[in-house]
């Protein structure tokens, strides 16, 4: 079920530092052809697609305090200062009690789809919308600590919707540099793992976002796998990537966008991770890093 997780104060500074370190690492090394904008952090290709253990480097470093000296009021200065990211926590806590609103048809590209769905849950009843929400807040904290402007598509976990087309519209109106919809799947109990969904080619709708979304998906997939220990889904997708043309949240987007299906809530092994607050901190680190790597190289 494309779409949910809890907040947590931990780790933020560490990630801030590691992203800063990442930016520093990327800058001097090999150079990208010529697209190097004048952004000082224009980034070249990253280390390696393999699993190495990535550059968690943790370079000792630079100023700690996230709050910084920057001129801006409340947004800390950081490698992502000029970037806008939309984080879209899938589903919502009130959806189950609002079938009329949720089932109303809305534009989803060439056709229509239901406004939203209720989402998945674990065997013990931990709901996907809650997971999505909690994890999204953690990701937001990390990206903000690195200076990004983060827009969430909903403001709490008790409301209804928004509808899938509105979720996309929020990203468009924010002119986001990247948008990530956070979900967890409700797959077969025997299947485990995560996957990232990218927009397929839907003429007139996704032409402009297929390529950058693919890059975003690649960075997110690598960092998430390395950072969480969750394997690629073994019951669908292809090495953790799935291209789809039927998702309104992607079809209606004009900005690079992907869905993360963070794991399979119906699978006991995945569920044990997804329900663990400590694991969610690590997952948020990984997601924020994936987004940052994409932004710094684009």
Residues at the contact surface with Zn ion, assessed by CB under 5 A: 1-3, 90, 119, 183
The answer to whether residue 261 is catalytic is yes
CA distance 76 to 58: 19
Nearer to Zn ion, 90 or 193 (CB): 90
Contact at 8 Å (CB) between 298 and 220? Answer: no
In angstroms, what is the minimal distance from the CB of 153 to Zn ion?
Answer: 13
User: Which of 134, 226, 261, 281 is labelled catalytic?
Assistant: 261
Closest distance between Zn ion and the C-beta of residue 52, in Å? 31
User: What residues are paired with 150 via a beta bridge?
Assistant: 85
Shortest reach from residue 198's CB to Zn ion, in Å: 16
The distance of closest approach from Cβ of residue 262 to Zn ion in the complex, given in angstroms and rounded to an integer, is: 10
Helices 210-228, 277-297: inter-axial angle, 10-degree rounding: 140
CA 87 vs CA 79, 133, 175, 231, 267: distances in Å? 18, 10, 13, 23, 25
Cβ atoms 272, 13 nearer than 8 A: no
Q: Which is nearer to Zn ion, 127 or 284 (CB)?
A: 127
Return the number of the residue (67 or 103) whose C-beta is nearest Zn ion: 103
The CB-nearest residue to Zn ion is 3
Cβ-count burial 60-98 (b if 16+ within 10 Å, e if not): eeeeeebebeeeeeebbbbbbbebbbbbbbbbbbbbeeb
Closer to Zn ion by CB, 66 or 90: give it.
90
- Cite the active site residues: 261
């Amino acid at each position: 079920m494309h779409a949910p997780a809890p907040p947590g104060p931990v780790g933020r500074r560490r990630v801030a530092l590691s992203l800063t370190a990442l930016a520093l690492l990327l800058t001097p090394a090999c150079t990208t052809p010529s697209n190097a904008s004048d952004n000082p952090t224009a980034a070249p290709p990253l280390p390696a697609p393999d699993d190495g253990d990535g550059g968690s480097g943790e370079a000792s470093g630079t100023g700690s305090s996230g709050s910084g000296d920057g001129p801006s009021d409340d947004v800390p200065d950081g490698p992502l200062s000029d970037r806008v990211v939309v984080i879209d926590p899938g589903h919502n806590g009130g959806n189950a009690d609002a079938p009329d609103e949720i089932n109303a048809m809305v534009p989803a590209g060439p056709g229509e789809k239901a406004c939203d769905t209720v989402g998945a849950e674990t065997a013990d009843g931990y709901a996907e919308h809650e997971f999505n929400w909690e994890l999204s807040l953690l990701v937001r904290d990390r990206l903000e600590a690195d200076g990004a402007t983060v827009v969430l598509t909903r403001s709490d976990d008790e409301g209804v919707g928004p509808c899938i087309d509105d979720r996309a519209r929020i990203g468009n109106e924010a002119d986001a540099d990247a948008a990530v919809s956070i979900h967890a799947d409700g797959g077969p109990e025997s299947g485990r793992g995560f996957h990232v969904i990218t927009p397929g080619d839907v003429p007139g709708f996704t032409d402009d976002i297929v390529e950058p979304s693919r890059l975003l998906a690649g960075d997110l997939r690598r960092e998430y796998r390395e950072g969480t220990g969750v394997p690629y889904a073994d019951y669908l997708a292809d090495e953790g990537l799935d291209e789809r043309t039927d998702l309104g949240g992607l079809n209606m987007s004009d900005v690079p966008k992907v869905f993360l299906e963070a794991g399979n809530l119906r699978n006991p092994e995945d569920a044990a991770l997804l329900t663990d607050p400590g694991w969610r901190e690590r997952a948020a680190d990984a997601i924020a890093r994936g987004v940052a790597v994409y932004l710094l190289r684009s």
